[in-house]
A = this chain, B = another copy of it.
Amino acid sequence: MALFVQKFGGTSVGSFERIEAVADRIARSARAGHQLVVVLSAMAGETNRLLSLAKQVAATPCPRELDMLVSTGEQISIALMAMALHKRGLKAQSLLGEQVGIVTDGRHGRARIREVQTERMQAMLAYGIIPIVAGFQGRCLDNQVTTLGRGGSDTTAVAIAAALKADECQIFTDVDGVYTTDPRVEPKARKMDNITFEEMLELSSLGAKVLQIRSVEYAGRYNVPLRVLSSFRDGEGTLITYEENAMNAPVVSGIAFSRDEASLTLVGVPDAANVAATILAPIGDAGIDVDMIVQNATGDGKADFTFTVARNDLDQAQALLAPVLPQLGVAALRSDDTLCKVSVVGVGMKNHSGVASQMFQTLGQEGISIALIATSEIKISVAIDEKYLELAVRSLHQSFNLAGEE
């Protein structure tokens, strides 16, 4: 008998038919003899409906009151699911974040979980009652309703799995697992049976949006085995754990990409230590994420400094740089708003050289020139012309044999 935390997202409980289907799924797991804790999101569309109510009353509603308002969404889901499970002869009780004892800090709308109390859930499990927990919500120490921010239900599920030392945290979504790349770009993309937390973090932050980054980080930190699987189709999904044997790990696990990148290049900045900080400080202060950063010395005590931002941040970034340019004696400011980013990711990379050269060679053979390169221990990213995105993804997928063809 295993203990599973099963989380179902908004689309999984988005209609009465789907609530019934999910209830069937839960009933099958329960009848297979497993202990279950279920975590639910609000029904698809409900959170947006509630936010639009708030917008009709106040242009900038107070975050505390927004939390009070939107936390009703999950409350409705859990009550309805408990009813659907009762109908199937199962014992189940819905629980609010506060009733579980999900204690958060006081940052409304983006609270972090501080503690998950387990006494009530443990007692219910001992009596054979399935706790149906409202995701996304908690209470801070002075007993205010808080929410964890969008996608916070994943975090709720992982935090509960960690606190209960569950055998697995199962995240049910509308995809049946994590793929080697986006199947809409490369139809040969293969669902992976296993992947490491590190790879999942690189893949999800790079655009393969299956899981909330924070929940993956959290699962990694507490070593909670995380499984992504489909709410609607049977299958084993993808299990995310720590690598057990890095030598056997595939060199490259997957190809991630993101569209709508833009680069800014400051030509002829002084080749000095604090230049990067001077350039990036106003960008960061404005809340704009900077991704790839490259500084090339040009040999005359000068350097070219290039970085990428999301394309719709480009204009604002340019404006923010304007006062900095004369200060640094920049010769020219160039921008490119036709870029995309493609990354190969894999923990096996740590122990294999040659991944970068194979990547560059593959792209070169297709005539794709590389604008920028950034690397980490388990990832190599390149910025290229966006028109080559699909071609680059498919040729790399082929080159690293990700479709699993021998």
Contact = CB atoms under 8 A, between A and B. Distances in A.
Contacts of A75: 68-69, 71-72, 75
Interface stretch (A57-65, A208-216, A291-299): A57-65
Q: Which of the four size classes fits the interface of chain A?
A: 35 or more
A392 interface: no
Contact of A83 (B58, B76, B94): B58
Chain A at the B interface: SS class: helix
Nearest to A77: B69
Contact of A76 (B50, B62, B93, B98): B50
Contacts of A61: 83, 86
Interface string A60-96: 0110111011011001101110111011000001101
B57 A99 contact: no
A16 B68 contact: no
Contacts of A62: 82-83, 86
12 contacts: A16-B56, A54-B79, A54-B83, A57-B83, A58-B87, A61-B83, A62-B86, A66-B79, A68-B79, A69-B75, A69-B79, A71-B75
A68 to B, nearest CB: 4
Copies in the complex: 2
A145 interface: yes
Contacts of A145: 96
A111 interface: no
A271 B401 CA distance: 100
Given A93-B64, A99-B143, A69 B58 contact: no
The 3 closest A-B CB pairs, nearest first, are: A69-B79, A72-B72, A68-B79
Contacts of A99: 143-144
A65 B84 CA distance: 11
Nearest to A78: B68
B57 A84 contact: yes
B53 A80 contact: yes
Interface string A24-55: 00000000000000000000000000100110
Contacts of A20: 57
Contact of A65 (B56, B82, B98, B144): B82
A19 interface: yes
A62 B79 CA distance: 9
A53 B69 contact: no
A199 to B, nearest CB: 39
A16, A50, A72, A96 — most chain B CB neighbours (10 Å):
A72
Contact of A80 (B57, B82, B96): B57
A76 B143 CA distance: 18
Nearest to A70: B79
A80 B94 contact: no
A76 B53 contact: yes
A50 B86 CA distance: 18
A262 B227 CA distance: 65
Given A56-B16, A98-B98, A99-B143, A69 B80 contact: yes
A42 to B, nearest CB: 11
Contacts of A78: 68
A119 to B, nearest CB: 11
Given A58-B83, A62-B86, A65-B83, 5 more contacts: A19-B57, A20-B57, A53-B80, A72-B75, A99-B144
A71 B79 CA distance: 11
Nearest to A145: B96
B68 A94 contact: yes
A205 B20 CA distance: 43
Contacts of A71: 75
